[in-house]
Chains A and B, each alone.
Chain A
Amino acid sequence: QLQLQESGPGLVRPSETLSLTCTVFAGSISTSGYYWGWIRQPPGRGPEWIGNIYYSGSTFYNPSLESRVTISIDTSTKKISLKLRSVTAADTAVYSCARQLRDCSGGYCYFAEFDYWGQGILVTVSS
């Protein structure tokens, strides 16, 4: 059974860079058609998709976060990294990684379901 685990600091200072890592266990990071995504959930609010990456390195980002986000992948260590620059208190959230299907079955490609999720890690932005 595929497992994902997030790691990183739980506290980040305003204006600094949030850096998190997701490690994939008990499964392949190179499965065709599946991307590795980051999602965050601010306290009391619904989830927000941050972006995702394919094992080849191809990335897609949420347009509202794109200018501050970088997602990278290391297939040799099965790790996916998230960097979010210039953080503010509004970036305080539980950050989760998940595997996401890219569905091209209907002749049009779009990102579909997240089928495996990590437990998530709370990151607080505060001085």
Chain B
Amino acid sequence: QSVLTQPPSASGTPGQRVTISCSGSNFNIGTHSVFWYRQVPGTAPKLLIHRDNQRPSGVPDRFSGSKSGTSASLAISGLQSDDEADYYCAGWDDSLSGNVVFGGGTKLTVL
């Protein structure tokens, strides 16, 4: 059971805009930054979004992050076939003595 909750799957057609949600609590998303990672099976995860909505250098502006209260979202516009991957949200959690927490992941399928 992951601390951050994501839908297990999402899908869209090429060119479409899709969003992936991440739900947490005031111990994590409600207080601290959210991060998003993309992982193609068998490869290392790649940082897509940091500090809720900031893109690292080299990440296309088709990827955007947002946050409201204890929930966050990743939006992908102009969906492409190679966007098919697993997407994870993550952040810092203040409960107990502090911990880095992840969502369970959302598998994005491009139809």
Contacts and interface: CB of A to CB of B under 8 A. Distances in A.
B17 to A, nearest CB: 24
Q: Give the interface size class of chain B.
A: 20 to 34
Interface of A: 37, 45-49, 60, 62-64, 96, 98, 100, 103, 110-115, 117-120
A48 B6 CA distance: 15
A112 B47 contact: no
B105 interface: yes
The 7 closest A-B CB pairs, nearest first, are A49-B100, A117-B44, A46-B104, A110-B92, A113-B50, A47-B102, A63-B96
Nearest to B97: A63
Given A45-B104, A46-B102, 10 more contacts: A46-B2, A46-B88, A49-B99, A62-B99, A100-B100, A111-B98, A112-B33, A113-B35, A114-B45, A117-B44
A37 B100 CA distance: 10
Contacts of B96: 63
A127 to B, nearest CB: 27
Interface in B83-111: 88, 90, 92, 96-105
